[in-house]
Amino acid sequence: MRAIALVDLDDTLFQTLRKCPPDVPRGSLTPLGFARDGSPLSYATPRQLNFIAWLSETAWLVPVTARSRDAVERVRIAMDAAVCAHGGMILGRDGRPEPEWVDHIARAAMPHSALLDRLAESARNAEPGLSVRILAEEGGPGLYLLLKHPDWDEESLGRAVDSLRPDVPANWTIHRNGNNAAFLPPYLGKDKAVAWLLPRLRALHPEAPVIGIGDSLTDAPFMAICDFAMMPTGSQLSAAALEPLARC
């Protein structure tokens, strides 16, 4: 019996070079995520690589990620479907966007586009030099606002996030993890896409246990929909869920 594994990618199955454990020799790292020019961006440790191999042998592997479709397609991991862009796009078993979900997202995104544009402009003015991007899929609507600092200045990123908070509605999600900050409108979320996709996966594999795997707080809602949940130790999610209990 195979399982269904719904798995976050970055900081779960691999990470950037600067985030790789310092005790793992560089020569033992395997690049799995690549830039558009083909240069490696993300690396798996030997243990992560063996974990991926184990998942591939024992489960239908479905990434659930903040990455865009383009970035997901530059990951060298076999996939049976995928949730991209914090749930803004779902790729079916054939690797093509699910048309029903595309239509749903297009309608849901429309009322929030003007605010996304205003937040992006405010972010650019708040901290010059910050990477400010409204992520969209293939000419579709803007989905969410993503902020990064090119020099990994987390204090600068934090100031930008704090400056935007008063203009962000209460039903939006502000997610901060390291050098990434995402502002998600209320219709968007990995859990919402998984809630749509999972019944279809269960119809194909009705007896398969479903395992949710992720590292960040925004992964917790989709993991809660699954039968079982896993997280990397030392991750944001692990710090929230396990470390307080370990101190008891």
**Strands 228-230, 210-213: pairing kind:** parallel
pLDDT of residue 127: 81
Q: How far apart are CA 65 and CA 191, in angstroms?
A: 11
Average pLDDT of the residues of the chain: 94
Q: Give pLDDT tens digits for 73-129.
A: 999 999 999 999 999 999 999 999 999 999 999 999 999 999 999 999 999 998 888
Rounded to two decimals, the pTM is 0.92
Q: How far apart are CA 48 and CA 70, in angstroms?
A: 23
CATH of domain 109-184: 3.30.980
pLDDT above 70 (res 248): no
Closest CA to 183 of 131, 143, 242, 136: 143
Plot region of 38 (φ>0 → left; ψ -120 to 50 → alpha; else → beta): left
Tell me the two tokens of residue 70. Answer: 């383009």
pLDDT above 90 (res 229): yes
Domain with CATH 3.30.980 in the chain: 109-184
pLDDT of residue 53: 97
Q: Where are the beta strands (DSSP E) in the chain?
A: 3-7, 15-16, 30-34, 40-44, 59-63, 82-84, 89-91, 131-136, 142-148, 173-177, 180-184, 210-213, 228-230
Residue with tokens 């509605």: 169
pLDDT above 90 (res 44): yes
pLDDT band at 149 (very low <50, low <70, confident <90, very high): confident
**Residue 42 forms beta bridges with which residues?**
16, 33
Q: Give pLDDT tens digits for 184-225.
A: 999 999 999 999 999 999 999 999 999 999 999 999 999 999
Domain with CATH 3.40.50.1000 in the chain: 3-88+189-246
pLDDT of residue 245: 66
User: What does the pLDDT average to over 5-23?
Assistant: 96
Class for domain 3-88+189-246, per CATH?
Answer: alpha beta
